Structures are given as structure tokens and as C-alpha cells.
Structure 1
Amino acid sequence: MTRTSEAAVPPPAHPLLPGASPATIRSYLLPEDRSAFADAYGAALDEARRTWELAPLHDVIEQWRRVAVVQSDPARFRRTARRAAEFFTGEPSPEDEPFEVTRSKAGM
């Protein structure tokens, strides 16, 4: 009997790799972005039904997959947004500033 070494077992693939399902993408988005994703996804589905073209649907899914990757660590995303807001405005965002305001300043 041979024993499989731990090094031989590959780590599981990250769920947000290209090809992730819309449901998986949605689950990694911040709650405040889920409705925007649902709206964009629904509009892309409607367009696909009308035009018989899937490329726009795939584009929407990929765009939001990338957002989900960034948001998969909410604390890091918030820090990144604060740094981006400071970069664009030239001033640090106040600690008590609502996150939506900070995101808006950062263009996120």
C-alpha cells in the first residue's frame, strides 16, 4: 500500500477563476453591489435572447467576476478604496466617512 503525499494533492481551485458561475460571482460581491450585478446580468440575458449573441453576456459576467475577485476580501477592498480616494482627491478620507462616499471618490 502506498501513501499519497500531501504535496501530490493539488489545492482546490479558487471559485472565482474564469468560468465562475453567476451565482458564485454574486455570492462574493458586497451586498450593496448584488442588485447592480443582477440588473446588468438580466439586461445582458435579455440582449442575448433578442440578438442570439452570447458575447455581451460573457462580457458582463467577466466584468463582475473581476469585481468579485477584488471584493472577496472586503477589508482589503475597503483599504484599497480609501487609498484610491486619497489618490484622486489629494486628501485622506475621514475615518467616519460612509464607505459609499469613499467609493464614489475613488471611482469604484
Structure 2
Amino acid sequence: MVRAADYEEALRLPSGHEYGNGVAIFTRDGDAARDFAARVDTGMVGVNVPIPVPIAYYTFGGWKASGFGDLNQHGTDVFRFYTKTETVTSRWPSGIKDESSFVIPTMA
């Protein structure tokens, strides 16, 4: 784990590393999370999860020197060629709601 001094350094650290495997950001700011996932130069991004790829169906492998050949190693991406996929896994815990509702809203 590396703590960054500010937001721009948090983007620079993983983006500038020779291995672009994965990174996680912990925040309550949705705008910052979306911006970070869009701008960081890594193959996997976790938002409020410590390990960005929870199951093998998702691609595993980063960009740059952490890739293994031309394709990612798992999931449907093994069939995609000449693409550059970024996997974003996010979790947004919230203590705001008082109760859960499992009813689908209708026009009635």
C-alpha cells in the first residue's frame, strides 16, 4: 500500500510504474473515482475494493510490462485482439438508507 500526498500523485504513481497491473482507490467521492478510473494507466482498477479482479472470469493482467503477450489471460478478453481493456470493480457502501426496498416501481 502506498499513500499519495495528493490526487495527482495518486494518478502518477501507478501510471508511471513499469508494470501497469492494477491499482485500488478508496474514496467516498464518485467524481474522483470515475476520473481516477478513466485517467490511471493500469489494466485493473479497484474502487473501494482492495483487489480489483475478484474472480477469474474477469481479465487478469495489466498493461505495459505486466502483460503476458498480446492478450489478457482469463475471461472473454482472451478472444479480443488489438484491444486494450481496463477492468473497473467498484463498491459503494452507504449508511444513508434506513431500509431496503425490493419492489420494482411501476406506473400504477
Note whether the superposition's TM-score is higher than 0.5.
Answer: no
Q: Which has the higher strand share?
A: 2
Work out which of the two has the higher radius of gyration on C-alpha atoms and give 1 or 2.
1
The higher relative CO (CA closer than 8 Å, separation ≥ 6) is in: 2
Q: Which has the higher helix share?
A: 1
TM range (shorter): 0.3 to 0.5
Task: Give the TM-score normalised by structure 2.
Answer: 0.32
Task: Give the TM-score normalised by structure 1.
Answer: 0.32
